[in-house]
Amino acid sequence: MLHNKSFVKKTRAGRVMKQVREHYLRDDIFCGAPFCKVCDTSGARLSASPSTILVLDTNVVLHQIDLLENLAIDDAVVLSIVLEEVKNKNLSVYNRIRAICSNSKRNFFVFSNEYHRDTYIKEMTGETKNDRNDRAIRVATQWYQNHLGSGVKVLLITNDKENKRKANEEGIHAETVETYVKSLDRPDLLDLLVRPSEDVDMEEVEDLRPSKRKVIYIEHKPMSEITSGLHRGIYHQGKLRVNRYNPFEAYVGSESIGDQIIIYGRSNMNRAFDGDIVAVELLPQDQWQEEKSLSIACGDEDEDEDVHLAPNSADDAPRTIPQQGSSGEINAVSSRPSGRIVGIIKRNWHSYCGSLEPMPMPAGSGGIVHALFVSKDRRFPKIRIQTRQLENLLDKRIVVAVDSWDRQSRYPSGHYVRTIGEIGDRDTESEVVLIENDINSRPFSSQVLACLPPLPWTVSSEDLSNPIRQDLRNVRVFSVDPPGCKDIDDALHCTALPNGNFEVGVHIADVTNFVHPGTPLDDEAAQRGTSVYLVERRIDMLPKPLTEDICSLRSDVERLAFSVIWEMTPEADVVSSRFTKSVIKSSAAMSYVEAQARMDDSRLMDPLTTDLRNMNSLAKKMRLRRIERGALTLASAEVKFQIDTETHDPLDIGMYQIREANQMVEEFMLAANVSVAQQILKSFPLCSLLRRHPTPTKEMLEPLLRTAAAIGLHLDVSTSKAMADSLDQAVGDDPYFNKLIRILATRCMSQAVYFCSGELSPPEYHHYGLAAPIYTHFTSPIRRYADVIVHRLLAASLGIFKLPSIFQDRGQLTSVSDNLNYRHRNAQMAGRASVELHTLIYFRKRPTDTEARIVKIRSNGFFVFVPKYGIEGPVYLTTRSEKGGGEWYIDEQQQKIKKIDGSISYSILQTVQIHLEVVEPQPNRPKLQLSLI
């Protein structure tokens, strides 16, 4: 049956065009009920004998998605017209409802009513699109009722009064969400409901905040005004970025003025959330605010700086606003433009993790209670929610979604989504860390697991006879990894050649032999992007059998590998290099400690140790050469926990020790990565996945230079070589000084990122930290998806395999690399958050005195870095009440804080003794506190 849709459409040029589209109406769309006698039931999704089948209206899907995600709602029919409307209005809700519909555990059925012969309706003259769609929903509901007969009740769930009225008139069962949920007799579900704004009882709000019944925020400008304002240059558009460490300070990167606009305070932020696309109006220049960050805690609420892990790069660190140099002091007014938000172009609301602000149980418990929710991520404001289960939620970590924020309320209102667990519980907090960083820790689906080769897996004769695969089983290959490492993705060999040269090979697990493009396994890995290492657990990118067995290059088993093999002179000059797929049999899987011990033990003369020593001497030469080229030796304050195997509680904590063996392995991995990068870029100049590390700008290095200047150290940062040299010369009186400077330098730099070679020009490919013109990741395909891509590129460049289609689409490759950067960053953030969490758990039982270094001076105290535990936090010299008290004054030039009477002064990088202790200022809110001894 054929039907033509015709509609009029306005083109971008403003002309009016009539469009005619075919619309085929079918008779082979089935109702999805397994008990239906007429329809083909092979694709049926509804349960076998439901008492009620729900048909959801668009507004229900759009607003009550959290409710729908609850398992209590089932046997629902989602009409295609509803999906279409939802998709046009809110893509993220659309994706969520799609996920529910495809979940085999849920009985949600998508009925393509728009293509069904009996349920398609034509728009009537004078009928609006909305009315037509509502009618379509009613017609489909009616059809369902008629189709399935009276044995089943078909219930239309709608929150549209008009729609409900009409449905009742037409003899269709229709109810609002609330009445339906109430009929289920599940009070916990009621919390999931989003109340339409007009339903909010104003009196209640009045009761709760009698004094606040006034307009707090200025009104958002209408969209038309914003558009014209943007057009005329009065407003500026950009994404709002809230300072991770100070939620009252936010930035809008604006292309129109080429600078970041600072937004101070909640009222200027005007209800915008982090990540929203906003329109900003610049404030008059005299209102541009002075630096506020000179004191540690600021803002109009009692929130303050926490102790946290020492940042590893500029991206992690609190935003430091480059101060005007001494020349700029004349101008008292800050030249940074400040602004306020006049409108929100696109909301970035999602759900947030956190807990409820402690509050007494109200008298009439069991009723509806308003509570304030505090997000764990401080960038987000508190959220007001209604709940009927306050007593259950008070000591829980919960997830909350935002619904609205109107001008009269200080905080946005939202609704409860789900509970994660008890606050402070390690599992709960780990879960929070994962959720906050958008890490998928769900077990792999059966489709993904179906892609695995049958277990137990061994190298087959086909693999061995495959001409593309070289048999290297007779070569003495070994691996060196951290102790307890199960996902061994790299192994090495080093053989002396008769001509005095060495053949050095780097063998990387051949993951792409098992992960084929386009399979669910590949899609899942691409989505996860990387394995995530938390203190107590690892979230794998690939399923465990691959990660720990099939791909892992364990000792004494034959494994498939992708090898980079060089011939090197004893001076570590590369004579030739080649790449091949191979079969290897590792002779030893050593830990760094073991390898180091072998090398150091001069009595050992076995072949393996000789290989190790040869490699080490080559590595040292390569390293030297790299440093000569200007590679920076950067340092991070990584810490290592010793975890109790039973309780998973941290037993000890200490800095990560780097041995020669580590450096040796690292050196060859770097070399392999560079070789591979050259090879793939040569073959695919436009679609290679590379990794770049941008050269830090002057502004970024400013804090480092200021600190260095204060202690009389001159750093030349003109080139990476100069920087490396001056870092080498920065040797203080104590052994830790140099490392401290390096740590400070490291945190000034931004992180390296993946990119698609077609997106940038070759000079921009540069990797600053490694001083390499091009670089990529090849050596860890088990735990990084980027390496999987690079493996495929390399295989394609060798002509072994054809290039998967994704590489032909530069846009797609860019989105893949963006995802990888995002996942990589999130994985790092999650790792750090996990360490922070465990640090807290560790110190909960062990108040400690230790040595710390001052790294930042503020007007009421300073920040210290604790090298031993890798943490950083504020030390207050004054109590909170006398903020910015007069007793202390700050010497900007010398970076010192002095007591007025001159008796005590603290200068930057000075060593101080501090006391570490976990305090609980509020119940269930433990935090680490540092105080000066």
Partner 1 sequence: MEYVSPEGLRLDGRRPMEMRQIRAEIGAVSKADGSAVFEMGNTKVIAAVYGPRQVQNKSQQMSDQALVRCEYSMANFSTGDRMRKPKGDRRSTEISLVIRQTMEACILTHLMPHSQIDIFVQVLQADGGTRSACINAATLALADAGIPMRDLVTSCSAGYLNSTPLLDLNYVEDSAGGADVTLGILPKLDKVTLLQMDSKLPIDILENVMQLAIEGCKAVANYIREILLENTKQLEYRRGV
Q: Which residues bind partner 1 (CB under 8 A)?
A: 2, 4, 11, 15, 17-26, 80, 83, 87, 98, 101-102, 110, 112, 114-115, 518, 802, 804-805, 808
Neighbouring CB atoms inside 10 A of 335's CB total: 10
Query: Of the two residues 7 and 656, which places its CB atom closer to partner 1 in the complex?
Result: 7
> Of 40 and 644, which CB lies nearer to partner 1 in the complex structure?
40
State which residue, 92 or 893, has the beta carbon closest to partner 1: 92
Q: Which residue lies nearer to partner 1 by CB, 682 or 802?
A: 802
Q: How many CB atoms lie within 10 A of CB 706?
A: 17
483: preceding bond cis by omega (within 30 degrees): no
| Least spacing, CB of residue 104 vs partner 1, in Å | 13
Q: Rounded CA gap, 75 and 105, in Å?
A: 11
Residue closer to partner 1 (CB basis): 11 or 125: 11
Complex with partner 1: residue 83 or 341, whichever CB lies closer? 83
Compute the least distance from the CB of residue 517 to partner 1, in Å. Answer: 9
Q: How many CB atoms lie within 10 A of CB 322?
A: 15
User: Shortest Cβ distance from residue 19 to partner 1 (Å)?
Assistant: 6
What minimum distance in Å lies between the beta carbon of 738 and partner 1? 53
What gap in Å lies between CA 261 and CA 271, rounded to an integer?
17
Smallest distance, partner 1 to C-beta of residue 28, A: 8
Q: How far is the CB of 103 from partner 1 (least distance, A)?
A: 12
Angle at the Cα of 458 (from 452 to 460), degrees rounded to 5? 100
**Residues facing 153 on adjacent strands:** 52
Whole-number Å distance between alpha carbons of 521 and 514: 9
Nearer to partner 1 among residue 45 and residue 791 (C-beta): 45
Q: Is the Cβ of residue 281 or residue 523 nearer to partner 1 in the bound state? A: 523
| Token output for 484 | 């307890």
Kindly report the number of other CB atoms within 10 A of residue 326's CB atom. Answer: 9
What length does the chain have?
933
At its nearest, how many Å lie between partner 1 and the CB of residue 26?
A: 6
Q: How many CA atoms lie within 13 A of 781 on its CB side?
A: 30
Task: Give whichever of 147 and 623 is closer to partner 1, judged by the CB atom.
Answer: 147
Least distance to partner 1 from the beta carbon of 283, Å?
Answer: 41
Q: Compute φ and ψ for 122, nearest 5 degrees.
A: -90, 150
Nearer CB in complex with partner 1: 80/746: 80
Look up residue 253 and give its amino acid. G
Q: Closer to partner 1 by CB, 108 or 906: give it.
A: 108
Q: How far is the CB of 522 from partner 1 (least distance, A)?
A: 12
d(C-alpha 341, C-alpha 281), whole Å? 6
Which regions of 681-781 does DSSP assign to beta strands (E)? 689-692, 753-756
Cα dihedral sign for 511, 517, 518, 522?
Answer: positive
The phi, psi pair for 415, rounded to 5°, reads: -140, 155
Residue type, 224: S
Closest distance to partner 1 from the beta carbon of 798 (Å): 18
Partner residues linked to 175 by β-bridges: 157
The two tokens of residue 493 are: 């060999």
Tokens found for residue 335 = 């030249």
- Helix, strand, coil shares, percent, the chain, to 5: 35, 30, 40
Please state the closest distance from residue 812 (CB atom) to partner 1, in A.
12
User: What ranges in 170-222 are assigned the alpha helix state H?
Assistant: 177-184, 187-192, 202-208
